[in-house]
Amino acid sequence: MYAGIDCGTQSTKVILIDTVSKKIIGEGQAKHHLISEANGKREQEPQWWIDALISAFHKATQNAQINPKLISGIAVSGQQHGLVALDKHGDVLIPAKLWCDTETSLENEEILEKLGRKSASLSELGLVISTGYTASKILWLKKYHPEAWQKLDCILLPHDYLNFWLTGRKVMENGDASGTGLFDVRKCCWSERAINTIDTSDHLRQALPQLVKYDQIIGTVQSEVAEILGISPSTLVAAGGGDNMMGAIGTGNVQQGIITMSLGTSGTLFGFANQPISPASELIANFCASTHGWLPLICTMNITSATSLVQNLFEQDLTQFNQAIESAPIGAEGVTVLPFFNGERVPNLPNAKAIIAGLDATNFTPNNLIRAVLEGATFSLRYGLDLFSQANITPTQIRLIGGGAKSAVWRQIVADVMNCPIICLSYAEAAALGAAIQAAWVIGIQNKSLNEHEKQTQLVQLCDQFVTLDEQTLTIPKTENVKQYQTIYINYLSLLNKYYLEK
């Protein structure tokens, strides 16, 4: 039996799998608080993650009705890009800044300028650093918290911090490290040039943790943690990874041809590649996968975070919300929304604001506004899919995850806008499942003389056992809808160009 832990923005989830019965046998969840301010600040206390992990872990083992000491291994998935700054005692110096924090946009520009702008970033790192990546948070820490900077001993990401709590080891896995903005994704190593844009004194370099590969076991659970969780202190902890990397495993996206799309707080698109994208794209994150390949990824900042705003504005439950979407026609009678309520990452517009266009006396209705926000959020992902197409990444199927995937009307809109069949997974918590599968896989291949192909074959077999498609959600694009949306999407692009991209 293996445990997968996913520390997300809103909650921590734990699932348990049994590789003998080939079933998910238990799950648990516990919510987090979020520190949110109008200036773009998005922070959490790392202790909240530990408290939620403990609660969710106990719920999962109770749900499974098992003796927790029978759990063989654990892997952790975590929200990418967050900054956890520790002193020499392992204590947290400041609240963790999260992936969705845009307070450090000026610091990101400063780093880019020192690096030599976007072309230099692509040349040095294989991607363009953007606001939200860890690098700008580190410079922000140095500028505005000098006392904490002086005490800084180690920088971790959220999943690394939970690994540290579990094992006492401070390490970082290559896939998650890809999103720091300090890591060369092609050579899989730290970039001295990027580090020097923040600090030339070697203080930062020494604070970066040891890098580990995806197939490594990083240790066993500390005795005091084992007692808290009720597990054996001999329980192994695999490397784990970022939530997108674990989400790829948890959706079976470990071979070319599949695209995973998340309709979560943010929106993500990612696929599998045997090589990093070349030439590198300034808008596609050329991340390493937490398998043997790469995970080209696009992230947008406003999906359910945007739709929830309009849902709450009209005080609707989910049933009423979906009915409102269905009641409005395709294109919302000419109402178009650029849904940049939290700025935007793709395209890179960290300070952008949402825009509602096309309103008149006849179309100014709640249903049209609701549908227009949802369509705008979907168009932002279509923008990302177009970028994938330009990089010769074309899906034969899109696997849809996240809270928005539960809506049948939204699934149809996604299929029509993307002009691609979409399908959901029988088990929706892809990152937690991916972490559990990775734990079983990494621990299973230890002490075996396997080549890379043989390792990946075992991973594919595990994914086939635990990742099942929900055939009832298979949604095929409707030809007439596809035609209508192509025209509406062109209008969306013209507004995007007019208000942001041409400036």
Binding residues for substrate: 80-81
Q: Count CA atoms closer than 13 A to 394's CA, side-chain side.
A: 4
Element (H, E) at 195: helix 192-196
Q: Which of 442, 430, 440 is nearest to 467 (CA)?
A: 430
| Rama region for 416: left / alpha / beta (φ>0; ψ in -120 to 50; rest) | alpha
Dmax over Cα atoms in the chain, in whole Å? 71
Please give the Cα distance from 365 to 376 (Å, whole number).
16
**Of these residues, 243, 317, 386, 470, which one is catalytic?**
243
Angstrom distance (rounded) from CA 240 to CA 215: 9
- Say if CB 243 and CB 431 are below 8 A apart: yes
The helices-and-strands tally (H runs, E runs) of the chain is 18, 25
Q: Alpha helix locations (H) across 65-155?
A: 105-115, 117-125, 134-144, 146-151
What is the rounded distance in angstroms from the CA atom of residue 323 to the CA atom of residue 386? Answer: 30
Clarify whether 243 is annotated catalytic.
yes
Burial 413-450 (b: 16+ CB within 10 A, else e): bbbbbbbbebbbbebbbbbbbbbbbbbbbbbbeeeeee
> What DSSP state is assigned to residue 202?
S
Q: How far apart are CA 409 and CA 491, in angstroms?
A: 22
Distance CA 245, CA 125 (A): 19
265, 307 Cβ separation under 8 angstroms? no
Residues in the chain: 503
- Asked if 173 and 114 touch (Cβ cutoff 8 Å), the reply is no
CB 288 within 8 A of CB 294: yes
Helices marked H in 281-365 — which ranges?
A: 304-313, 318-327
CA distance 191 to 353: 33
Contact between residue 218 and residue 407 where contact means Cβ atoms under 8 Å apart? no
Q: CA quadruple 242, 247, 249, 254: dihedral positive or negative?
A: negative
Tally Cβ neighbours within 10 Å of residue 223.
10
Provide the annotated active-site residues. Answer: 243
